[in-house]
């Protein structure tokens, strides 16, 4: 149980506010005066950053938005970081808010985590929060990120991080305009096996790379449902704020299955089987061929429901091939780079990458070590984000990397929806097709707009 706040503590806090100086400097002066008078102030070691603790003034104050199963995984990944402290959660669903509060309070041994239902109230009121973890469904990722960055927060957001090309562009422009740190949750860009394959391709260890295969999810389809589930009685807003849950999407009648995760596969809410894993693997692929700041120019339709085997060509001739199965890897979110002198492949669950020759694998430790030394990046995606919040340099999966890889996702989807080949100008972000251009954006329902 948390100790009650003493009158001495209240007096100290009041003095800090009145003085106008930083808490750190105030504590230092108090300690000095106490020593001179022979009556030392009793200050917890954690407040001074001793015994491995981080002083409050050096901590990144965090809030959580839309935390379900995936968000809880990332939250538990972040909580052990000693220079991070979560203080609030915002969610349209009461049971989710309460579950996150229990997790945060249990971790810190207090009852301090505040709960919010309305993201607008949360962002306006919590001026003390430095950064937010956003793990809503796809429909909210871009809008929540934009609103948070406008409110002065840095953002770590789950993928897929945009629903359209226009949303991705708006996220990128917001991050640049407001000078915010933005990291999308394509965490394999910070995992050793994937980093090795990417760096092997970038550094020419495979010769000239001509083809890269990228895994798309082996469920659902590229063509999504345009109907909606049957209406059910809407719960009280305090239990599920249905209007806020829908956010920018078209109004649909309430159905509990949506809130339980059944929104996937619906055009209103999802980015298809291509976006589900392509949000990861396209970013990985484009990093390996040095195309993380552009997108393919030619998209070739394949007559199936999923996009399996679809080819997207970059301006330099490198081919990105979408693969739904496990022909080129085993495990999820796989990728494979093929060059004139060899190939490298990996996916989740690998103890080490698969390569075309044992000699190439002998470079694993050196390549990863050199990458970490050259870039200063850790093999931890959340740690990279927190380091960048402090240093203000761009994270590995920054807004530009997100936007250009998600543009590839959206262009592949549009190609599959229209059932014809498309040509795309990645500079103008325009297709050679008026109907395709109309699909670069979607209407957003007020007041949930950019």
Question: How many residues does the structure list for the chain?
Answer: 450
Residue 275 has pLDDT above 60, yes or no: yes
Residue 312's pLDDT band, with cuts at 50, 70 and 90, is: very high
The 3-state DSSP class for residue 127 equals coil
Q: Given this model, what pLDDT does residue 52 score?
A: 65
Residue 120 has pLDDT above 90, yes or no: yes
| CB neighbour list of residue 42: distance below 8 Å, 6 or more residues apart | none
Question: Can you read off the two tokens belonging to residue 404?
Answer: 């250009």
Residue 49's pLDDT band, with cuts at 50, 70 and 90, is: low
Mean of pLDDT values over 336-344: 98
Q: Given this model, what pLDDT does residue 57 score?
A: 83
CA dist 417 and 395 (Å) reads 33
CA dist 307 and 309 (Å) reads 6
- DSSP letters of 170-214? HHHHHHHHHT--EEES-GGGGSHHHHHHHHHHHTTTTSSEEEEEE
Report whether 153 contacts 128 (CB < 8 A).
no
Question: Can you read off the two tokens belonging to residue 338?
Answer: 């093929």
Please tell me the pTM assigned to this model: 0.89
Residue 17 has pLDDT above 80, yes or no: no
Q: Given this model, what pLDDT does residue 172 score?
A: 98
Please write the tens of the pLDDT for every residue from 363-380: 999 999 999 999 999 999
Residue 51's pLDDT band, with cuts at 50, 70 and 90, is: low
Report whether 276 contacts 409 (CB < 8 A).
no
Residue 308 has pLDDT above 90, yes or no: yes
Torsion, Cα of 395, 400, 406, 408 (10° steps): -130
Residue 417's pLDDT band, with cuts at 50, 70 and 90, is: very high
DSSP 94: H
Question: Can you read off the two tokens belonging to residue 306?
Answer: 């999923």
Task: Examine residue 447 and say whether the peptide bond preceding it is cis (omega within 30 degrees of 0).
Answer: yes
CA angle 329, 334, 401 (to 5 degrees): 155
Residue 11 has pLDDT above 50, yes or no: no
Residue 40's pLDDT band, with cuts at 50, 70 and 90, is: very low
DSSP 46: G
Buried b / exposed e across 148-178, counting CB within 10 Å, b at 16+?
bbebebbbbbbbbbbbbbbbbbbbbebbeeb
CATH domain 187-222+270-438 topology = Dihydrodipicolinate Reductase; domain 2 (3.30.360)
Domain with CATH 3.30.360.10 in the chain: 187-222+270-438
Q: Given this model, what pLDDT does residue 8 score?
A: 39
Report whether 64 contacts 75 (CB < 8 A).
yes
Residue 239's pLDDT band, with cuts at 50, 70 and 90, is: very high
CA dist 161 and 146 (Å) reads 11
Burial of residue 335 (CB within 10 Å: 0-12, 13-18, 19+) is: buried
Average pLDDT in the chain: 91
Which of 306, 340, 302 lies closest to 422, judged by CA? Answer: 302
Residue 229 has pLDDT above 90, yes or no: yes
CA angle 100, 106, 109 (to 5 degrees): 135
Please write the tens of the pLDDT for every residue from 19-38: 444 444 444 444 443 443 44
Pairing mode of beta strands 131-134, 60-65: parallel
Please write the tens of the pLDDT for every residue from 135-186: 999 999 999 999 999 999 999 999 999 999 999 999 999 999 999 999 999 9
With residues binned 3-state (H G I as helix, E B as strand, rest as coil), the percentages for the chain, rounded to 5, are 40, 15, 45
Question: Can you read off the two tokens belonging to residue 396?
Answer: 């590995």
Mean of pLDDT values over 82-100: 98
Higher-pLDDT residue of 17, 296:
296
């Amino acid at each position: 149980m948390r100790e009650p706040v003493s009158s001495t503590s209240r007096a100290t806090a009041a003095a800090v506010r009145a003085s106008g100086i930083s808490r750190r400097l105030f504590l230092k002066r108090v300690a000095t005066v106490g020593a001179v008078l022979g009556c030392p102030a009793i200050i917890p070691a954690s407040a001074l950053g001793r015994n491995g603790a981080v002083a409050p003034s050096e901590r990144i104050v965090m809030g959580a938005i839309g935390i379900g199963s995936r968000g809880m995984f990332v939250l538990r990944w972040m909580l052990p970081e000693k220079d991070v402290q979560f203080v609030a959660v915002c969610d349209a669903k009461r049971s989710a808010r309460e579950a996150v509060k229990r997790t945060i309070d249990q971790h810190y041994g207090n009852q301090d985590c505040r709960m919010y239902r309305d993201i607008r109230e949360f962002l306006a009121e919590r001026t003390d929060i430095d950064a937010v973890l956003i793990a809503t469904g796809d429909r909210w990722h871009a809008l929540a990120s934009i609103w948070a960055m406008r409110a002065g927060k840095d953002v770590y957001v789950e993928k897929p991080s945009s629903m359209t090309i226009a949303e991705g562009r708006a996220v990128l422009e917001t991050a640049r305009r407001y000078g915010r740190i933005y990291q999308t949750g394509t965490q394999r860009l910070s995992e050793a096996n994937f980093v090795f394959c990417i760096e092997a391709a970038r550094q020419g260890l495979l010769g000239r790379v001509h083809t890269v295969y990228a895994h798309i999810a082996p469920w659902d389809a590229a063509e999504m449902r345009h109907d909606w589930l049957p209406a059910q009685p809407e719960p009280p807003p305090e239990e599920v704020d249905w209007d806020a849950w829908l956010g920018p999407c078209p109004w649909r009648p309430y159905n509990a299955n949506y809130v339980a995760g059944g929104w996937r596969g619906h055009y209103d809410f999802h980015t298809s089987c291509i976006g589900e894993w392509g949000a990861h693997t396209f970013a990985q692929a484009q990093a390996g061929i040095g195309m993380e700041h552009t997108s393919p120019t030619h998209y070739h339709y394949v007559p199936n429901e999923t996009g399996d085997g679809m080819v997207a060509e970059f301006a330099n001739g490198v081919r990105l091939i979408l693969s739904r199965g496990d022909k080129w890897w085993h495990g999820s979110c796989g990728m494979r780079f093929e060059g004139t002198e060899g190939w490298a492949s990996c996916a989740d669950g690998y103890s080490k990458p698969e390569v075309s020759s044992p000699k190439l694998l002998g470079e694993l430790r050196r390549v990863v070590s050199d990458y970490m030394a050259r870039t200063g990046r850790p093999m931890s995606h959340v740690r990279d984000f927190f380091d960048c919040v402090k240093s203000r340099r761009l994270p590995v999966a920054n807004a530009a990397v997100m936007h250009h890889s998600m543009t590839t996702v959206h262009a592949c989807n549009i190609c599959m929806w229209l059932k014809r080949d498309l040509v795309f100008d990645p500079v103008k972000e325009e297709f050679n097709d008026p109907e395709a251009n109309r699909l670069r954006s979607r209407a957003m329902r007020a007041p949930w707009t950019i």
